[in-house]
Amino acid sequence: MVRGEDWLALAGADVLGLLQLGLNCTINSKDLGGAVSRAASATSEAVARLPARLEPAVARSLITTAALRRHPAVSALAGCAAVKEHVYGPTLAAVLTHMVGVFNSVERLFDTPGRLQLTSDDVAKLLLAAARYNDWGYLAEWLSELEAAQLLTKADVTSMLFAPEFAACRGGCGLLPERSRWRVLQLPAAQQLDAAEVQQLLESGLRQSCKTCIDAGVGGLCVLPAALELSPDAVAALIRAAAERQQLAEP
């Protein structure tokens, strides 16, 4: 059996073949003798030996496969110029989708041509994924600054804000995805929400937030233009609901 560290020497000029093979190796904890781990290390080293120019389809296949497998070599591929120049919109969207939760491994792709080709639909899906995996807003921050995010419609933003990924408190642990939510609330389309929608979101935020994250659940909504249009009765009801929620959360 060929050891992982010997692959490079045996591969010769066929670095691409080695790399594709290595990326398809499953990385798991039941690795007898560390063979798979050594293969993963050799695969990452093979990235450094890639030619300066790659066929576009080959480059996209390598980074997509690595992201799908969440292979350790994905970070090296994300920083490889020969790969990055061919990462266009659909490829970038696929890679980020696979890597949500550990996106820091591929953040070097954020300056690829693909960022300008992401669609508003891509951005909306990735914002929801970022909230679901609680990435603390880093991916959401980058996404929200893209032109595609600025073009999201009021319907897009409303759908996101009412989605479980944004509304639900994570078991009373203070992990409401407030940073991702805050970024969405800064988008132009969010400024178009009407008073009824803001009231619904506030009521939902109060119901679904624990004592720890209640401020995060409603805070960003209170600065929207439509919040100033809430009726006195609606404001009074929200204050009562907040007080009751705090009391219920008391030990």
pLDDT tens sequence across 46-78 = 777 777 888 889 889 989 988 888 888 888 888
The answer to whether 81 touches 53, Cβ cutoff 8 Å, is no
Tokens of residue 72, six digits: 């350790």
Instruction: Name the pLDDT band for 191 (thresholds 50, 70, 90).
Output: very high
Contacts of 143 (CB under 8 A, 6+ apart): 123, 126, 127, 130, 149, 183
Q: What is the pLDDT of residue 130?
A: 81
pLDDT in tens, 9-30: 444 446 666 677 667 665 554 5
Higher pLDDT, 35 or 200: 200
Q: What is the pLDDT of residue 223?
A: 87
Q: 43, 7, 10, 5: which is closest to 24 by C-alpha?
A: 43
Q: Where are the domains of the chain?
A: 154-251
Higher pLDDT, 219 or 162: 162
Q: What is the DSSP letter of 27?
A: P
Angle between helix axes 56-69 and 89-99 (nearest 10 degrees) is: 20
Instruction: Name the pLDDT band for 229 (thresholds 50, 70, 90).
Output: very high
Tokens of residue 37, six digits: 């781990």
pLDDT in tens, 72-130: 888 888 888 989 999 999 999 999 988 887 777 788 888 888 999 999 999 999 988 88
